[in-house]
Structure 1
Amino acid sequence: MATNSAYNEIKRKITSSKRGTLFFPDSFAQMASSDAIRSALVRLCKDGDIIRVAQGIYCYPKIDTKWGSGVVPPSIEDIANGIAKRDKVRIVPTGAYVLNVLGLSKQVPANVVFFTDGSSRKVSVGKGNGILFKHTSEMRTFAYRSKLMLLIVMALREIGDENITELQMNIIKGHLKNVPTGDFQKDILLAPIWVRKKLQQV
Structure 2
Amino acid sequence: MKRVRGTGRGSVYTPSDFLDVATRTAVDQALSRLVKSGKLRRLARGLYDYPKIHSQLGPLSPAPDDVAQALARETGSQVQIAGARAANALGLTTQVPAKSTYLTDGPSRRVVLGKRVVDLRHASPKHLIAPGSPAGTVVQALRHVGQVRAADVAQVAAHRLSPSDKHTLATSAYQAPAWMRSTLVSIATAGAPGSDG
Please say whether Structure 1 and Structure 2 have the same fold, judged by a TM-score greater than 0.5. Answer: yes
Q: Verify: 1:189 aligned to 2:182, yes or no.
A: no
Q: Verify: 1:24 aligned to 2:14, yes or no.
A: yes
Q: Quote the residue 2:80 is aligned against.
A: 92
- Superposed CA offset, 1:33-81 (max 9, x none): 5884354122342xxx3344444322235689xxxx9977541111100
Question: Bigger CA drift: 152-161 or 28-37?
Answer: 28-37
- Superposed CA offset, 1:14-41 (max 9, x none): 34x3215433346466275588435412
Q: Verify: 1:171 aligned to 2:164, yes or no.
A: no
Shift of 1:111: 1.2
Shift in alpha-carbon separation, 1:63–1:23, aligned structure 2, 3 A:
same
Q: Supply the distance in 1 between the matched residues of 2:128 and 2:103 (Cα, whole angstroms).
A: 11
Q: TM-score, normalised by structure 2?
A: 0.72
Shift in alpha-carbon separation, 1:88–1:143, aligned structure 2, 3 A:
same
Q: 2:139 aligns with which of 153, 173, 180?
A: 153
Alignment of 1:134-149 (within 5 A): 134-138=121-125, 141-143=128-130, 147-149=133-135
Q: 1:43 aligns with which of 27, 36, 43?
A: 36
Q: TM-score, normalised by structure 1?
A: 0.71
Amino acid in the other structure paired with 1:132: D
Q: CA RMSD in A?
A: 3.4
Structure 1: runs of 5+ lacking an equivalent: 1-10
8 Å CA contact 1:116, 1:139 repeated in 2: no
Amino acid in the other structure paired with 1:173: A
Q: Supply the distance in 1 between the matched residues of 2:31 and 2:170 (Cα, whole angstroms).
A: 49
Q: Quote the residue 1:83 is aligned against.
A: 71
Amino acid in the other structure paired with 2:112: S
Q: Quote the residue 1:58 is aligned against.
A: 48
SS at match of 2:119: strand
Shift in alpha-carbon separation, 1:36–1:173, aligned structure 2, 3 A:
closer
SS at match of 1:22: strand
Q: If you compute each CA radius of gyration, which structure gives the higher value, 1 or 2?
A: 1
Shift of 1:106: 1.3
Shift in alpha-carbon separation, 1:56–1:112, aligned structure 2, 3 A:
same
Q: 1:122 aligns with which of 110, 129, 139?
A: 110
